[in-house]
Structure 1
């Protein structure tokens, strides 16, 4: 999808905004006059009211150069912020994606170049496809829309603002691509190779193999990997855009390229979705791509632990005890509670190696979080109120919502073990997501920290949001980019 900015439309389709109660925007009014009142007639003949997210497509009359007109609703003028524009223009682009239109000209009447850029981001997200392995796709099932032209009041300002948001779009696309890839293609070694290619974007990339991790004492992570023929990888990405000597911001991602559950084998139905159990790592990789692309003024380190969990004859067993890099011992009660085992060593390595200002980890950690929050919010757990509050604000600003759940000593006791320092499960079905969080807290060594359980938001096949594809959403890139740009760039 190509994004262009201009002061005059040139597309074979036009999109104009309508506010609530069918109130026409300036561009819509101009088109209404040019078309002899066709917009009002079409609105009256439909149930379109201009509410946010609504779309109405009409055939353009003969006196309009374009072939089609799309009305997109923005709702109230007072609440039409970047999120609203992003979603509304995504809906307009989605409407025409397969219908034969090649160039869609979207009128953005706001003078704010930022809003025009958010509209472009919405169009880009809506146009996302993952068709690499589809060899017999019919022509009418392939996208016809190749270009979205944003017609802005100040197209130069919008184009300048887009330079930053385009990097976010690239980061989201990368995260989605990684989640979408089949697990026989994107195993840990291949994943690490792909990350290393981001050095051309200005990132420093280091890859640790199993022999190096063994020397570091990462028995918790390697215990998960030992059932796979694929070697685990720990990949470290660094972006040094801040002041020299400033502590880095640290983001750590769970990267289970496939999770069978190990010896505690998952049910067969739906197991194919476990190719997406690396959604946390994809978010971190996408974030680092976005920060490097827009030259973020911050020092940032991203660490992703890439592992495959398989039920091999050499796989770890329920009842095993492993020793983590921290020296703490863990009793394995269920090999399907593997994400926390992988993150335990990744978190300890990150805090010990880089002494960051804080750590945020992302993981598709628990099915229990879907029971609590569904697909609409990621759960966050934190030992630092300021971090949690800032992440919540970034979630609101980016339209990638988070909701804080509690942790504390009363929950921490749930993972005490009779034979080791801790066990990798809590008390059955009760507080399952919290048990995962308090487990991870034992490996941050007192650093300010947030755990994001994104099991419900990173993979979602049933979303009605026009920005989201079926399955891999790329969740995490936008909220974390917003978090960094709003609170931590110098």
Structure 2
């Protein structure tokens, strides 16, 4: 969709006009400033819009008025107490507006940002509204045929009228991040018969056109590197197993400095292997078990698109966890790239096996100062946190603080859970160095403790379990139902606030 930004002085009533009102302006039935010059008939009709609660945050009223020789729609959006609005709340207002315009089957609208209602946000009010609209105005309709019309998004163009200038440049940076968020949503939404490991590799290679250095390791190369934990996960599938690294060197003057690395789990479909998952919704949705890899790929795409001045490594492991005569068995022992031996107590705890080798390879090859892994790792995190927060694990308080703040700013929230020796002891094996599942509960924590064993001394590390936030059946305030694209905005905010030059 297209966004335009124009001066308030250029505003003329269009077919659809969106205004913002506060609680106070609703109580006194004041009209926005730019409507004060309209004819008395128009003003009198508009004064009839709701008298009791319009102006409350997120409340929408639509009035159709005959003006300037035709029917014009006036949409009033309540913003509550304007002085208290956060950046995220303004974006959520944009999502509400997008939903309303699509529900009314409207393709174009003028949004007027005028008067004291939005002064507390200044020039960023329009940009944040635009960001919320674009995030909400998404639909994965690739496979609809008969149902395409009923799932149609109508909204195509928004024109903002505001006193501020140069908003195009401000929004352009945000839009590149949103485009990559939608790119990630597309990846997570694709069925596993389309997006298998080979197809995912091809998607990564397309980033080379943006200046990203992409390296692909296949089974033969993984074997030579002793990445047997990863290879064991994919050995039951007819598809290949791969590691893909994506290098974005945006800080040319700091090329020799240690990069920041993001590692993603890319199980393109997870049956559970020999420990087969039960039938039902749980297994049918396991196409999104590559959500961590999708986020990392989307992040690298966004950094390259906006030419971010930071050096970042994206590393993903790609495999398919299938049951077959060649599949890994419960009780098998594999030797990881690190040299540590792993007892595979449960083949459905495959993501941590994949990550153990990819994390070790990333540290060996790129020597990152910070490494953050993202994975749809455990169902236990959904039980603990539902679909409102991702689980965050780290021993570094500063990194936790940075990620938590970035989550609050974007609405992609994280919640810190504990690590500790008492949990680490739960994954000790009687016949190997470690086993891939613990006992006595704490499933998400023992998974994180497993990963911690593959973090080298001196590397600052965090693990983010996104199993509960990568997909929302009923959608969210800034996302439609289905894939959320969670993580792309979070990690961009994390980098912008802490590691990119101001």
TM-score range, shorter chain: over 0.9
Matched, 1:239 2:248: yes
Cα RMSD for the two superposed structures: 2.0
Matched, 1:366 2:378: yes
Shift of 1:65: 6.4
Give the whole-Å Cα distance in 1 for the aligned partners of 2:71 and 2:316: 48
The answer to whether the Cα contact below 8 Å between 2:138 and 2:480 also exists between their aligned partners in 1 is yes
The answer to whether the Cα contact below 8 Å between 1:13 and 1:66 also exists between their aligned partners in 2 is no
**Unpaired runs of 5+ in structure 2?**
none
Give the whole-Å Cα distance in 1 for the aligned partners of 2:69 and 2:351: 57
1:106-185, aligned counterparts within 5 Å? 106-109=111-114, 110=118, 112-137=122-147, 139=149, 141-154=151-164, 156-185=165-194
Partner of residue 12, structure 1: 15
Give the whole-Å Cα distance in 2 for the aligned partners of 1:86 and 1:65: 32
Give the whole-Å Cα distance in 2 for the aligned partners of 1:218 and 1:141: 44
Q: Secondary structure at the match of 2:329?
A: coil
Shift of 1:100: 3.0
Q: Secondary structure at the match of 1:84?
A: helix
Q: Secondary structure at the match of 1:258?
A: strand
Deviates more, 1:9-18 or 1:434-443: 9-18
Partner of residue 276, structure 1: 288
Q: Secondary structure at the match of 1:489?
A: coil
Give the whole-Å Cα distance in 1 for the aligned partners of 2:241 and 2:97: 43
Shift of 1:63: 4.8
Q: Secondary structure at the match of 2:159?
A: strand
Give the whole-Å Cα distance in 2 for the aligned partners of 1:27 and 1:289: 44
Structure of greater Rg: 2
1:195-225: CA deviations, max 9, x gaps? 1111112211111111111111111111000
Partner of residue 31, structure 1: 35
Q: Secondary structure at the match of 1:36?
A: helix
Shift of 1:23: 4.3
Give the whole-Å Cα distance in 1 for the aligned partners of 2:136 and 2:98: 7
Give the whole-Å Cα distance in 2 for the aligned partners of 1:27 and 1:443: 62
Partner of residue 52, structure 1: 57
The answer to whether the Cα contact below 8 Å between 2:87 and 2:128 also exists between their aligned partners in 1 is yes
Shift of 1:89: 1.3
Partner of residue 348, structure 1: 360
1:391-428: CA deviations, max 9, x gaps? 00111111111110100111111111111011111114
Deviates more, 1:225-234 or 1:59-68: 59-68
Shift of 1:475: 0.2
Give the whole-Å Cα distance in 1 for the aligned partners of 2:325 and 2:372: 35
Deviates more, 1:110-119 or 1:348-357: 110-119
Q: Secondary structure at the match of 1:397?
A: helix
The answer to whether the Cα contact below 8 Å between 1:56 and 1:70 also exists between their aligned partners in 2 is yes
CA distance 1:449–1:59, change in 2 (3 Å): same
CA distance 1:40–1:345, change in 2 (3 Å): farther
1:267-416, aligned counterparts within 5 Å? 267-270=278-281, 271-416=283-428
1:219 equivalent among 223, 228, 235: 228
Partner of residue 205, structure 2: 196
Give the whole-Å Cα distance in 2 for the aligned partners of 1:332 and 1:338: 9
Calculate the TM-score normalised by the size of structure 2.
Answer: 0.92
Calculate the TM-score normalised by the size of structure 1.
Answer: 0.94
The answer to whether the Cα contact below 8 Å between 1:14 and 1:68 also exists between their aligned partners in 2 is yes
Deviates more, 1:398-407 or 1:53-62: 53-62
Q: Secondary structure at the match of 1:67?
A: strand
The answer to whether the Cα contact below 8 Å between 2:54 and 2:61 also exists between their aligned partners in 1 is no
1:435-490: CA deviations, max 9, x gaps? 1111111111131011001111111112342x212121000011100000000013
Give the whole-Å Cα distance in 2 for the aligned partners of 1:201 and 1:105: 34
Q: Secondary structure at the match of 1:172?
A: helix
